[in-house]
């Protein structure tokens, strides 16, 4: 049965609304005919036309043919059931449809968006349109009345026009607002709202009976219908547009009921027919004025809410801008400090390399030397992270074995994990070869482990697991199909609330107390992994723990050891028939002297310059003598290392040039291509790393 109904009724969200409007139209039409049959022509016949126009406004535009057919069927069915299915009734139906068509077309013509009565201009335009449509259709309706029963054409047309206008102005906005309710201006408990609405209804009932009959209040003061504007205004202020329309409709029910009971109204009129016209005019004027007021209040309320949201958004944007400017300033400071610190570290590491060459070094001194070197290397990694943070360090990708990287870095991770926590490392038996920046992957791993540590304040287990994964092309995934190496970091901590999971990788989002987290850790980790062509997946349950997986593409490139090939080293081990000469251009005196010492110890002759400008000024002394130039990138004097390199390459295209800097090789914009390990040595570097790059340039294929 359910399947059959599914096939008959299309899954359209407008279906339920259509059914409700159809029931309301048929019920109001049948009620109007019943009252006419029992009480004569003074019964209200205008609510159905308001519902019909509401259907055209509310339902989709492509439903127009179905709406008109449905209204015709319901109209004729109601007329048939009560014996009103006559030729005049069919003629009135055609005129009503003509009127609806005019109103609908005019609204479509002058409104760019669907009518929702959210602006005062909507109410004014709507009132103008229904006045025009009702006035035009009043002419043929008056003619039909004259032909059918001899009624005066002008009087019949006026009754038709005023009645339809009242139906439109009262019932159509009410139906539209019930279908698309505005935000309620009334605040407070539901029972209070119900009590207040009931009180307004009671005042309208009692006040309407007194006002429409003109009963004496005090002395010469008689009640008058205009006094009903007080409870209507009360409903408007407390319940908005819906309160306005319901209250006016209630007042209309009281007035029409008195007329149907053959009781004269204080509005005047020589007979009940004229009194009905005056009542409808009164209700129409009150409805339009009250609806305009209610709509203006709604527009003001909507503007207030929109302004509050805009102010909140601007405040948040201002805070983010300040935070961004602060982080940018910190980044610039960090980059500058890291650059200068790298020069210091370069001197320290080279000095340590020189000390290691001392013969018969005591064992204790060698151990202390090793500790100092490890500390310097850690400081070098820290400055490298500062450069990454300040965006002055690009990704230096190389082919590496992920298990080996995790195994080596786990030793450092154990130092940041307290004794209350257990760090478990499980590595895949087979090699996992990826193309990645080792320092960046270490930073990702550190951030994940620190988060896992903080999630287990009373201790627990942090697990690091490496494993291979494959994503078939037939499976929809957030990564490109292929083979991946996955680092899984799991904890048994408090877990992450489900609402926070989508925001985990947003910059500056953190659930930690102020001063304990910047919200950049996971955002940086996610950005690094995406830069590597991978992703991070999160699985978390509150009270159970969190698992984060770092997916990195597996590469088919061969794994190269982090050393210079032996044939290159042997080819240029310092045993030259004629020693080669290297020009060292470096503004830091200590680093310049140490580089010269390392090169001279390896059999090279060394010339030195303190800046790019000095090197160019004295280049005539070096022509034909210098075999390679080793230059810093960032130097004072107006000539950077890249500018020096371009100028020397223009003069001597075959001259090998090696660049070195504490900044990223792309930090100094130029057309010079710098490749770490080929023609670029990042500071700080050991003597072996420096010599390896120089030998590669002098002997290997990189000499261009």
- Length of the chain, in residues: 704
**Coil, helix or strand for 187?**
coil
Concatenating the DSSP letter of every residue in 360-410 gives: T--HHHHHHHHHHHHHHHHHHHHHHHHHHHTT------EEEEHHHHHHHHH
Interatomic CA distance for residues 17 and 58, integer angstroms: 8
Q: Quick one: pLDDT at residue 515? A: 46
Residue 541, class by beta-carbon neighbours within 10 Å (0-12 exposed, 13-18 middle, 19+ buried)? exposed
Q: Quick one: pLDDT at residue 232? A: 93
Nearest 5°: phi and psi at 340?
-65, -40
Interatomic CA distance for residues 657 and 653, integer angstroms: 10
**Coil, helix or strand for 610?**
coil
Least confident of 161-170, 219-228, 455-464, 664-673: 664-673
Q: Do the Cβ atoms of 547 and 540 come closer than 8 Å? A: yes
Percent of the chain with pLDDT over 90: 30
Q: Quick one: pLDDT at residue 9? A: 38
Structure tokens at 611: 């800046």
Does the pLDDT value for residue 215 go beyond 50?
yes
Q: Quick one: pLDDT at residue 495? A: 87
Interatomic CA distance for residues 659 and 678, integer angstroms: 10
Q: Quick one: pLDDT at residue 193? A: 87
Q: Who's near 3: CB < 8 A, 6+ residues apart?
A: none
Number of H helices, E strands in the chain: 20, 14
Q: In CATH, what class is 399-553?
A: alpha beta
What is the gyration radius of the CA atoms in the chain, in angstroms?
Answer: 43
Q: Which of 383, 436, 675 is nearest to 550 (CA)?
A: 436
Interatomic CA distance for residues 597 and 582, integer angstroms: 12
Residue 359, class by beta-carbon neighbours within 10 Å (0-12 exposed, 13-18 middle, 19+ buried)? exposed
Sole residue written with tokens 């000499």: 703
Q: What are the C-alpha distances in Å from 314 to residues 222, 310, 311?
A: 57, 6, 5
272 vs 98, more confident: 98
**Coil, helix or strand for 313?**
helix
**Is the bond preceding residue 684 a cis peptide, omega within 30 degrees?**
yes
Sole residue written with tokens 């229904």: 130
Q: Quick one: pLDDT at residue 564? A: 36
The angle subtended at Cα 28 by Cα 82 and Cα 153, nearest 5°, is 75
Does the pLDDT value for residue 507 go beyond 70?
no
Q: Do the Cβ atoms of 662 and 682 come closer than 8 Å? A: yes
pLDDT digits (tens, 9 = 90+) for 159-191: 889 889 999 999 999 999 999 988 765 566 889
Res. 8 pLDDT band, cuts 50 70 90: very low
Res. 477 pLDDT band, cuts 50 70 90: low
Q: In CATH, what class is 566-699?
A: alpha beta
pLDDT digits (tens, 9 = 90+) for 668-678: 555 566 776 67
Q: Quick one: pLDDT at residue 509? A: 64
Interatomic CA distance for residues 279 and 284, integer angstroms: 8
Interatomic CA distance for residues 171 and 52, integer angstroms: 10
Q: Quick one: pLDDT at residue 71? A: 92
Would you give the end-to-end CA distance of the chain in angstroms? Answer: 81
Interatomic CA distance for residues 247 and 235, integer angstroms: 7
Q: How many CB atoms lie within 10 A of CB 520?
A: 16
Beta pairing partners, 546: 491, 540
Res. 127 pLDDT band, cuts 50 70 90: very high
Domain limits, the chain = 14-181, 399-553, 566-699
Q: How many CB atoms lie within 10 A of CB 212?
A: 27
Interatomic CA distance for residues 160 and 46, integer angstroms: 9
Interatomic CA distance for residues 363 and 368, integer angstroms: 9
Q: Quick one: pLDDT at residue 67? A: 92
Average pLDDT score over residue span 650-678: 72
Q: Who's near 421: CB < 8 A, 6+ residues apart?
A: 453, 456, 459, 460, 461, 462
Q: Quick one: pLDDT at residue 574? A: 36
Res. 44 pLDDT band, cuts 50 70 90: low
pLDDT digits (tens, 9 = 90+) for 102-126: 999 999 999 888 899 999 999 999 9
Q: Do the Cβ atoms of 217 and 201 come closer than 8 Å? A: no
Q: Which of 569, 567, 457 is nearest to 513 (CA)?
A: 457
Percent of the chain with pLDDT over 70: 83
Does the pLDDT value for residue 511 go beyond 70?
no
Q: Which of 107, 117, 96 is nearest to 50 (CA)?
A: 96
Res. 244 pLDDT band, cuts 50 70 90: very high
Q: Quick one: pLDDT at residue 185? A: 53
pTM over 0.85: no
Q: Do the Cβ atoms of 34 and 153 come closer than 8 Å? A: no
Q: Quick one: pLDDT at residue 2? A: 34
In whole angstroms, what separates CA 359 from the centre of its chain? Answer: 64
Interatomic CA distance for residues 101 and 132, integer angstroms: 12
Structure tokens at 617: 């000024």
**Coil, helix or strand for 286?**
helix
Average pLDDT score over residue span 307-331: 71
Q: Who's near 500: CB < 8 A, 6+ residues apart?
A: 509, 511
Beta strands in 428-560 (DSSP E): 433-436, 460-471, 482-491, 535-541, 545-553
Nearest 5°: phi and psi at 390?
-85, 5
Beta pairing partners, 551: 486, 535
Sole residue written with tokens 């019930």: 178
Average pLDDT score over residue span 313-342: 67
Average pLDDT score over residue span 425-433: 92
Q: Which of 43, 25, 22 is nearest to 33 (CA)?
A: 43
pLDDT digits (tens, 9 = 90+) for 608-652: 999 999 999 889 888 888 989 999 888 888 888 888 988 998 888
Q: Quick one: pLDDT at residue 487? A: 94
Interatomic CA distance for residues 597 and 687, integer angstroms: 10
Across the chain, mean pLDDT equals 81
Q: Quick one: pLDDT at residue 54? A: 94
Does the pLDDT value for residue 308 go beyond 80?
yes
Annotate 633-668 with b (16+ C-beta within 10 A) or e (fewer). bebeeebbbbbbbeebeeeeeebbbbbbbbbbbebb
Least confident of 198-212, 320-334, 464-478, 534-548: 320-334
Q: Do the Cβ atoms of 489 and 539 come closer than 8 Å? A: no
């Amino acid at each position: 049965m359910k399947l059959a109904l599914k096939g008959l009724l299309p899954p359209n969200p407008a279906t339920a609304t259509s059914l409700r409007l159809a029931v309301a139209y048929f019920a109001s039409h049948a009620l109007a005919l019943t009252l006419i049959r029992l009480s004569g022509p003074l019964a209200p016949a205008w609510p159905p036309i308001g519902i019909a126009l509401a259907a055209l406004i509310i339902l989709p535009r492509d439903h127009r043919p179905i709406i008109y057919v449905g209204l015709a069927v319901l109209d004729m069915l109601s007329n048939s059931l009560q014996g009103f299915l006559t030729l005049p009734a069919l003629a009135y139906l055609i005129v009503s449809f003509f009127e609806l068509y005019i109103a609908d077309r005019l609204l479509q013509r002058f409104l760019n968006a669907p009518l929702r009565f959210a602006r005062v201009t909507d109410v004014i335009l709507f009132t103008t349109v229904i006045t025009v449509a009702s006035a035009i259709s009043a002419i043929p309706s008056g003619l039909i009345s004259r032909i059918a029963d001899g009624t005066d054409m002008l009087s019949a047309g006026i009754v038709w026009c005023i009645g339809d206008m009242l139906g439109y102005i009262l019932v159509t906005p009410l139906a539209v607002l019930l279908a698309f309710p505005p935000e309620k201006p009334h605040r407070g408990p539901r029972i209070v709202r119900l009590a207040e609405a009931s009180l307004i209804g009671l005042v309208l009932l009692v006040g309407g009976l007194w006002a429409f009959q003109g009963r004496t209040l005090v002395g010469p003061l008689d009640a008058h219908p205009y006094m009903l504007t007080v409870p209507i205004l009360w409903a408007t202020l407390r319940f908005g547009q819906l309160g306005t329309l319901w209250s006016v409709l209630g007042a209309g029910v009281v007035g029409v009921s008195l007329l149907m009971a053959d009781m004269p109204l204080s509005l005047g009129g020589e007979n009940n027919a004229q009194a009905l016209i005056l009542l409808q005019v009164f209700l129409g004027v009150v409805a339009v004025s009250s609806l305009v007021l209610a709509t203006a209040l709604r527009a003001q309320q909507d503007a207030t809410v929109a302004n509050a949201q805009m102010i909140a958004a601007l405040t948040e944007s201002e805070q983010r801008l300040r935070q961004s400017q602060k982080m940018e300033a910190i980044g610039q400071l960090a980059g500058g400090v890291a650059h200068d610190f790298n020069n210091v570290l370069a001197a320290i590491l080279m000095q340590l390399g020189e000390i290691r060459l001392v013969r018969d070094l005591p064992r204790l001194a060698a151990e202390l030397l090793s500790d100092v070197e490890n500390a310097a290397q850690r400081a070098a990694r820290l400055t490298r992270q500062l450069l990454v943070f300040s965006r002055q360090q690009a990704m230096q990708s190389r082919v590496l074995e992920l298990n080996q990287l995790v195994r080596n870095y786990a030793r450092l991770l154990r130092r940041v994990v307290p004794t209350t926590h257990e760090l478990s490392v499980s590595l895949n038996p087979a090699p996992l070869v990826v193309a990645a920046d080792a320092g960046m992957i270490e930073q990702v791993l550190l951030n994940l482990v620190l988060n896992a540590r903080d999630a287990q304040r009373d201790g627990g287990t942090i697990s690091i697991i490496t494993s291979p994964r494959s994503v078939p092309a037939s499976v929809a995934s957030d990564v490109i199909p292929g083979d991946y190496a996955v680092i899984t970091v799991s904890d048994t901590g408090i877990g992450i609330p489900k609402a926070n999971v989508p925001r985990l990788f947003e910059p500056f989002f953190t659930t930690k107390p102020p001063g304990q987290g910047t919200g950049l850790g996971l955002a940086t980790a996610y950005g690094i992994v995406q830069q590597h062509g991978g992703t991070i997946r999160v699985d978390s349950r509150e009270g159970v723990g969190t698992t984060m997986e770092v997916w990195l593409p597996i590469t088919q490139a061969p794994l190269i050891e982090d050393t210079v090939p032996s044939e290159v080293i042997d080819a240029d081990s310092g045993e030259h028939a004629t020693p080669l000469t290297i020009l060292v251009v470096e503004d830091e005196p200590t680093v310049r002297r140490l580089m010269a010492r390392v090169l001279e110890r390896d059999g090279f002759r060394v010339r030195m310059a303190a800046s790019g400008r000095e090197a160019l000024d004295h280049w005539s002394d070096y022509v034909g003598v210098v075999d390679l130039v080793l230059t810093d990138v960032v130097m004072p004097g107006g000539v950077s290392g890249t500018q020096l390199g371009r100028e020397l390459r223009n003069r001597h295209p075959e001259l090998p040039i090696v660049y070195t800097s504490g900044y990223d090789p792309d930090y100094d914009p130029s057309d010079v291509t710098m490749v770490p390990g080929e023609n670029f040595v990042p500071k700080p570097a050991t003597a072996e790393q420096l010599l390896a790059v120089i030998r590669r340039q002098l002997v290997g294929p990189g000499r261009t």
